[in-house]
Amino acid sequence: MNEKLILALDQGTTSSRAILFDKSGEIKFVSQRSFEQIFPTPGWVEHDPYEIWSSQISVAAEVIAKAGISGLEVAGIGITNQRETTIVWDRHTSEPIYNAIVWQDRRTSNYCNELKKQGHADNIKKKTGLVLDAYFSATKLKWILDNVQGAREKAEAGDLCFGTVDTWLIWKLTRGKMFITDVSNASRTMLFNIRTLDWDDELLKLFDIPRAMLPEIKQSSEVYGETSTTLFSTKIPIAGIAGDQQAALFGQMCIQPGMVKNTYGTGCFLLMNTGKEAVYSKNNLLTTVAWKINGKVNYALEGSVFVGGAAIQWLRDGLKIIDHASDVNQLASTVEDNGGAYFVPALTGLGAPYWDQYARGTLIGITRGTTNAHIARATLEGIAFQVYDIVKAMEADADTKSKELRVDGGASSSDLLMQIQSDLFGFKIIRPKTLETTALGAAYLAGLAVGFWDSIEHIHAQHVVDKEFQPNLNEEKSNKMLESWHKAVKRAQSWIEE
């Protein structure tokens, strides 16, 4: 093979993947490996940092072997990763001092509540764009320093390194020569000032974190350095880094302000590009850095649906009305509408724009005529309604009107769900040919830095659409459905008492 390829390392919450892309942005080879989820106690979620590393490097080696190439034919490496997950290791031995504390981990919730009572939430939001929550890295890092024996002393002596997953992988890929992160990952730590684009001394003091522990902050697309020759047959430039959702935004080529993408996974992650402006939300959304390329920063608004595809899994595993997740489409399409049934999939509370952890799943409007098919359709609609609410919140915050939604993730393969989504919005839904947009975004960022692609415009011109969905429901009907949905949400809220 003479043509060079770009290697994307996609380090996710449950598996590590390596994908080789060609010049047209097509997937050539893929390798994937799952790894263990560790639950030491209810609400705690950990990963073994060595397993994150070993699974990622093994799939990288495997995909190169599958392609029958050497490192000479890899033009560059782009890295994308699960965000907020926190790793601390010894600067001299590269030994982690504790397991990685995963973004889902809730062990610092009470500490976050204390900080809220002390009045820190507004200042944290102003500096970081984030809601004060255990989700982000800062309180996880503080917990490690406070609870691992000798950690704080070593940190203050400059002997420890903190990193999100991208930083850990690059440290290992370069055998400790590079201690870096990019702006998109830094913006998820709750230690990064999105205005100054640097670590914030006031926040470091609040969380009692020594600055020496923190990596150098880089752009999302630049040649940072090269891999160690012990890992590949030759040195390969590491040239792109982005957190998974920001990488997907770039992979979808949402490069203009107002463009929105949604990833339909277990949950749903929506990002709207707000351009060079950091837009602060009045609707419980997060403000985050999308990327920095050629010295220019793009910001984004972000909102999350806690239960997206997981609602379909519940139909399969809980209600047992389908055998496979994909069966939901066939079952739901046997009825013309929901028969008056509405399902609010608040199985773990409601995310943006409600942020109600005490809401619970609610199936309402059931009559004697309600069938499994109506419930299946109401489930697909429940996912689409939640996405609708977040986009409307984004439009209000950014003072803009969306004209389309770009989609990816497993559930976006459902034509029926995409049609329902288009009908609710009254505009088109665009599904790309490559649904692996997270890895593709990382590949694009790396490829731009090494000249594999000469410009963002070049990439945009070759973006291939699989299918567009146009609305075909009249506005009066969709408005009536939305009205019923919002009544159902009210009934689902605050179900569990504190």
Residues flagged as binding site for ADP: 13, 17, 266, 309, 410
- Amino acid (one-letter) located at 468: E
End-to-end Cα distance, the chain: 62
Distance between CA 180 and CA 177 in Å, rounded?
A: 10
Residue-level length of the chain: 498
**Cβ neighbours, 10 Å, residue 258:** 18
Strands 74-81 and 5-11, how do they pair?
parallel
Q: Which residues are annotated as a binding site for sn-glycerol 3-phosphate?
A: 13, 83-84, 135, 244
**CA angle (78 as vertex; 72, 79 as ends), nearest 5:** 130
Helix (H, G, I), strand (E, B) or coil at 166: helix
Whether 336 contacts 369, CB under 8 Å: no
Helix (H, G, I), strand (E, B) or coil at 441: helix
Q: Which residues are annotated as a binding site?
A: 13-15, 17, 83-84, 135, 244-245, 266, 309, 313, 410
Q: Which residues are annotated as a binding site for glycerol?
A: 83-84, 135, 244-245
Closest to 436 (Cα-Cα) out of 29, 128, 143: 29
Whether 448 contacts 458, CB under 8 Å: no
Q: Region of 158 please: left (phi>0), alpha (psi -120 to 50) or beta.
A: left
Whether 306 contacts 350, CB under 8 Å: yes
Question: The tokens 């159902």 sit on which residue?
Answer: 488
The token pair at 175 is 């055998």
Distance between CA 411 and CA 391 in Å, rounded?
A: 18
Q: Which residues are annotated as a binding site for ATP?
A: 13-15, 266, 309, 313, 410
The token pair at 355 is 């942020």
- Amino acid (one-letter) located at 391: V
Whether 164 contacts 181, CB under 8 Å: yes
Bridge partners, 431 (sequence order) = 467
